[in-house]
Amino acid sequence: MQCRARPHATFDGRSESAHVGRVNYLLRVWLIAGVTAVSVSAQKIPVVEKHLPNGFKLLLVERHEEPRIAGGWVAHVGSANERPGITGIAHLFEHMMFKGTPTIGTTDAARDLDILVQQEQVRDEMRAEEARMRHALRKGEVDDITSPESKSDHYKELEARFQKLIDAERQVLVKNEFDRVYTTAGASGMNAFTTEDMTGYFITVPANKLELWCWMESERLLHPVFREFYAERDVVFEERRMRTESTPTGKFAEQFNAMFWDAHPYHWPVIGWPSDIPAISKRQADDFYQQFYQPDNITLILVGDFDPAAAEAMVIKYFSRIPKGSSPPSEVTTLEIPSVGEKRYYAEAETNPQLDILWRTVGFGHKDSYPLDVLQLLLSGRTGRLYKGLVLGRQSATEAVAQQDSRKWAGAFEIEAEVREGKTTEELEAAIYEELERIKNEPVPPEELQKVKNQFAAAEYRKLSANFPIFRQVLQSEGLGDWHEVNEAGPRLQAVTAEDVQRVAKKYLVKENRAVAVYTRKPGTGGTAEDPDLAGLSAEQKPIIRRVVQALGQETDADKLQQQADAIESRLSSTDPKKLPLQKLILKKLRARVTELKAVPADKKP
Amino acid sequence: MELRAVRWFQVFWLCGLCLRAGESIPDRPEKLEFPPLQYSPPHADEYRVALKSGPVAYLVPDHELPLVNLSILVRTGAYLEPADKTGLANFTGYLLTRGGIGEKTADELEERLAFLAASLTSGIGDDQGIVNLNLLAKDLEEGLGLLRQALTAPRFQADKLELYRDQTLQALRQRNDDSSAIEARESEALAYGTNAWISRNETDASVKSIAVADLHAFHQKWFQPSNFVVAASGDFDRDSLVSKLEQLFSSWPFSGEVPPPIPTNFAMAKPGVYVVDKDVNQGRVSLLLPGVRRDSPDFPAVLVMNDILGGGGFTSRIMNRVRSDEGLAYGAGSAFPGGVDYALPFRAGLASKSRTVAYAASLVIEEMHRISDQPVSSEELNTAKRSFIDTFPQTFNTKGKIAGQFARDEFTGRHARDPGFWDQWRQRIDSVTQDEVQRVARKYLTPDRAILLVVGKKDEILKGHPDHPVTLGSLVPGGLVELPLRDPLTLTPLDSGTKKVE
């Protein structure tokens, strides 16, 4: 499970071409460009939809190209279903779903349960102490409640008691047994992910082990046991450090996102705010489970080598055991407020200068999402408008990409671009808007429009290489709201006109609707080009001259430097020949600095 | 909490009742019975064609989708570039299809490919080059024409060289921004020695020294049919593609050279703890040891041993200790990749908050000792073996993978040396014993020879954690050495250089 909580897990469609056994090509799309008319059949994945009486939806795609089955399910819950105080719980939950059941993960279910109850009692006391620590922080009595030194004696004592219970739990614990059962059975690729909109779980099993998949997945939905809950919170915190806090732009991107969304819960990060993750209690997790992991909030998906009737019967046998939910899960009711003014965010980071521009647009399945998808294609790629206009034409960027991100509840259009050395973020930003104005004011030529539609159709094929990519497409669409989109988005996109593209560009890509993040490099972190003067120096001498140059840059007294230069010059004739090139170079740098300082008027000197 | 406990018992109890009432669902997965599953891998000779024009090709027709995928593997690599032009192989590989070909300028080629919804890409890595063509079957004729021009007549336009140079320099500037990039670079230098070709890196000076003439010379030296192996899959007729390929590779306009063997005179750094100071709140750890080649008779046992130690994800010991037990890391594990031409180092790695870096690393070393000192359990051994044996069909689960795997075997010489490799692979894994696992663990997992690289906030990491009295410097012999950060463009040390830390 190396790849959890990737908020926008995208799928690489450039995989190798391959057999797709039962995939039909029913939709025919005529791709016409210039004088050539070519015909390409669009993909249609033959999904069979079934419903279980307790509410589960089941999607089946039969394929016999390899003796394996990609299986999984999507729970229609993500970070958008959280609230302040428990942000990150949907993702934490995803981790907890691998901890087992009363029979998987322990040798003694009763003892295990007893210890879990005792652990919660100690944790309740610890939570009271944590509340006092937060109070002390607010009063300024402590600076950092996360450092080991700031723990109170009482808290340390509670920690020791809790550790004893963990030791006791380990006596009956069977580590990661859920994973081991699958691995021993030849399954592979077990993983899960959480986004703002959904939580997906998946694995690939040998074709003869479909019953094992049914047993394992229905068991953990029927009676999950959230053991090792508190150690797993620490794991999630390490995940947060890895993805957000210790990456060059992670913490800035998190703030920028929070600035972009005002009212909508997309405002907080999928992984959760740092203070919320360690404060989530197991009780809150239990409540969350009751609400969002009931059968009518889950879709089961199987893609691969099975007989559909037998597979359906097997799924019914196992998953019918799970009781129907008592009340439907709550939906996200908050609608984003209209954007009334441009937002700007400036960050100095350890990264090359770059721009990230977001506009509020529309979500999954909205009629405008298709022209926005086409706009993305027109702007992106090596023959796209951004590359041609910014990278090749104006040479103000080294790379530039666009993306329409149609999420379940709302959407955004994004352009990211890296500034080319010697140019500025201002120049690049102006150039991006010029390209967008051109889209708004001049209809896209038919050949160009057709080109991106051709690319889209071909990319659709390339996604059909094997069970798992097909599985992921179905899961993604279903998680966003409707699996039918895997087959229906293509024709809708092919129907987009040049006028549609102009219309959505004019409607959404406007100043008051955007937020702009401007990244500039933190001083002193980007490296320096090799000074050609250093070419003749030895490896030991090069660092010396670099330090000299650095020191000279900070010295502003021209007369003092002039005296030093004179002193070196007077000694040159008696210098050791090995050191002569170095001394000559120091002299050259000194003189250059003196000239530079004398050229600057006194009132402009730093 | 009392209420919750009652509810769990109720669920348990009710469940038991309905099981007795309905069709039997066992309480443990071991009680399930499964139908047998037979699988035999494809055979290379069914697809192999030795073309008269020079290359060996693997052709795997597949008529389900109207696409063709063609890859040319090329015997070349960064090991062949002059030391002062590091990056030449990379530049040649990238610009082969991005700098114009034959009659077409780079921009004309891009437009044509985009119009055809085709992709033509290329690259050169350490010891292999590759050119890929992926397109709709109806365009195959035109695509092969473009491929011929790319292979024989790349233009290496000066403006595209300048653009790629600028893009590369931009990428170099980011070298110290992410701690994982620093870790990767320093790992290589420690594992192979700073003077080895494999740990040479592009610099501002080396990138700026590359000229159009260098690209042409490098290309013409190595891009000739006798240095090619071809993998093709997709919607084509085999015989017809054979004659098209003969045509593609015939009458080559220049003659090149046969590349010399890959130099393997690497020198691993002395054992010790090497620290790079970087202001981030999570420290990254790499433990390195000398590795093996994949054709070593020890390799199947090494794979199984590593799977149990740290390669098997959640069933592995390192993951259990460091992540599940202690919550010290999100990812923790080990890798023992077998090298083709030279041994690749063993690496165990993790990332943990600064104060617990030393403790987490000590747990990894403990596990290395444990797997050497005590036999693994038969359950662990079985799980590890099944994870290789039962997932084996995935090696060949697409026609593209069949063509690609066999072409790679041809390229590396495995097809010639060990033609029964894939037929025997599962048996070789299955015959590994507990004794063998312990033997290879003792042989290769020698913490007293280890290099422990740590990238992170040095002061915090050295402080350690009050609950876990472990000091970083005591974990492996050799003492603590601070490695300097390097200027991202020149790679020269930013401060006074390597020093011992007291």
Q: Which of B17-26, B261-270, B481-490 has the lowest mean pLDDT?
A: B17-26
The B480-483 sheet, strands edge to edge: B332-335, B344-353, B282-292, B451-456, B272-277, B480-483, B499-500
d(CA B439, CA B373): 10
Query: Tokens 């000197």 — which residue?
Result: A605
Contacts of A458 in chain B (CB under 8 A): 67, 117-118, 136
Check residue A536 and give its pLDDT: 66
The beta-carbon neighbor of B330 closest among A242, A447, A457 is A242
**DSSP state letter for A12:** -
Residue B407 CB neighbour total at 10 angstroms: 28
Contacts of B11 in chain A (CB under 8 A): 222-223
The beta-carbon neighbor of B386 closest among A183, A246, A317 is A183
Check residue A539 and give its pLDDT: 62
The beta-carbon neighbor of B62 closest among A2, A19, A175 is A19
Residue A570 CB neighbour total at 10 angstroms: 9
- Please name the helix (run of DSSP H) or strand (run of DSSP E) that holds residue B283, with its range, or none: strand B282-292
- Please name the helix (run of DSSP H) or strand (run of DSSP E) that holds residue B130, with its range, or none: strand B129-136
Task: Say if the Cβ atoms of A242 and B29 lie within 8 Å.
Answer: no
d(CA B453, CA B481): 10
Burial of A66 (C-beta count, 10 Å sphere; 0-12/13-18/19+)? buried
Check residue A603 and give its pLDDT: 46
Burial of A174 (C-beta count, 10 Å sphere; 0-12/13-18/19+)? middle
d(CA B249, CA A236): 54
Instruction: Output the six-digit token pair for A104.
Output: 């998987």
Is the distance from CB of A525 to CB of A350 less than 8 angstroms? yes
Contacts of A543 in chain B (CB under 8 A): 492-493, 496-497
Nearest residue in B to A282, CA atom: B1
Q: Which whole number is the average pLDDT over A57-75?
A: 95
| pLDDT surpasses 90 at B314 | no
| pLDDT surpasses 80 at B137 | yes
- Per residue in A323-334, pLDDT (tens digit) is 999 888 888 999
Task: Say if the Cβ atoms of B389 and A528 lie within 8 Å.
Answer: no
Check residue B498 and give its pLDDT: 61
Contacts of B12 in chain A (CB under 8 A): 102, 109, 223
- Per residue in A378-424, pLDDT (tens digit) is 999 999 999 999 999 999 999 999 999 999 999 999 999 999 999 99
Task: Say if the Cβ atoms of B394 and A204 lie within 8 Å.
Answer: yes
The string of DSSP codes covering A537-572 is: S-TTHHHHHHHHHHHHHH---HHHHHHHHHHHHHHG
- ipTM rounded to 2 decimals: 0.85
| pLDDT surpasses 80 at A550 | no
Instruction: Output the six-digit token pair for B113.
Output: 């490919």
Check residue B5 and give its pLDDT: 34
Contacts of B168 in chain A (CB under 8 A): none
Q: How far is CA B441 from CA A241, B289, B319, in A?
A: 32, 12, 18
| pLDDT surpasses 60 at B496 | no
**B410 vs chain A: nearest CA distance in angstroms?**
19
Task: Say if the Cβ atoms of A121 and B1 lie within 8 Å.
Answer: yes
| pLDDT surpasses 70 at B20 | no
d(CA A365, CA A377): 18
d(CA A3, CA A253): 19
- Per residue in B35-44, pLDDT (tens digit) is 888 889 999 9
Q: What percent of chain A has pLDDT over 90?
A: 68
Residues 6+ apart with CB under 8 A from A380: A386, A387, A401, A402, A403
| pLDDT surpasses 90 at B33 | yes
CA A535 to chain centre: 44
Task: Say if the Cβ atoms of A186 and B390 lie within 8 Å.
Answer: yes
Task: Say if the Cβ atoms of B25 and A318 lie within 8 Å.
Answer: yes
Check residue B366 and give its pLDDT: 96
Nearest residue in B to A419, CA atom: B170
**Which of A3, A15, A183, A382 is the best residue to mutate to test the B interface, defined by the most B CB atoms within 10 Å of its own CB?**
A183
Check residue A15 and give its pLDDT: 26
Contacts of B114 in chain A (CB under 8 A): 381-383, 451, 455
Check residue A2 and give its pLDDT: 32
Task: Say if the Cβ atoms of A186 and B173 lie within 8 Å.
Answer: no
Q: Which whole number is the average pLDDT over A366-377?
A: 98
Check residue B501 and give its pLDDT: 53
Q: Which of A27-31, A369-373, B250-254, B413-417 has the lowest mean pLDDT?
A: A27-31
Task: Say if the Cβ atoms of B111 and A383 lie within 8 Å.
Answer: yes
Contacts of A21 in chain B (CB under 8 A): 64
Check residue A559 and give its pLDDT: 87
The beta-carbon neighbor of B393 closest among A66, A121, A175 is A66
Which residue, A565, A551, A570, is CA-closest to A594?
Answer: A565
Contacts of B353 in chain A (CB under 8 A): 237-238, 241
- Per residue in A308-351, pLDDT (tens digit) is 999 999 999 999 999 999 888 888 999 999 999 999 999 999 99
Task: Say if the Cβ atoms of B174 and A248 lie within 8 Å.
Answer: yes
A162: which strand partners? none
Task: Say if the Cβ atoms of A321 and B37 lie within 8 Å.
Answer: no
| pLDDT surpasses 60 at A23 | no
Check residue A600 and give its pLDDT: 54
Check residue A531 and give its pLDDT: 66
Which pLDDT band, with edges at 50, 70 and 90, does A604 fall under?
very low
Nearest residue in A to B280, CA atom: A246
Between B348 and B64, the more confident residue is: B348
d(CA B61, CA B238): 7
Q: Which whole number is the average pLDDT over A486-493?
A: 93
Q: Which whole number is the average pLDDT over B213-236?
A: 98
Please, what's the b/e burial string for A99-108 (b: 16 or more CB within 10 A of its CB; e: otherwise)?
A: bbbbbbbbee
| pLDDT surpasses 50 at B9 | no
Contacts of B234 in chain A (CB under 8 A): 17
- Please name the helix (run of DSSP H) or strand (run of DSSP E) that holds residue A379, with its range, or none: helix A369-379
Chain A to chain B Cβ contacts (< 8 Å): 293
Between B415 and B5, the more confident residue is: B415
| pLDDT surpasses 60 at A208 | yes
- Per residue in B376-431, pLDDT (tens digit) is 999 999 999 999 999 998 899 889 999 999 999 999 999 999 999 999 999 999 99
Check residue B444 and give its pLDDT: 97
| pLDDT surpasses 90 at A459 | no
Q: What is the pTM of this model?
A: 0.85
Check residue A588 and give its pLDDT: 84
Check residue B481 and give its pLDDT: 95
**A263 vs chain B: nearest CA distance in angstroms?**
31
Average per-residue pLDDT in chain A?
87
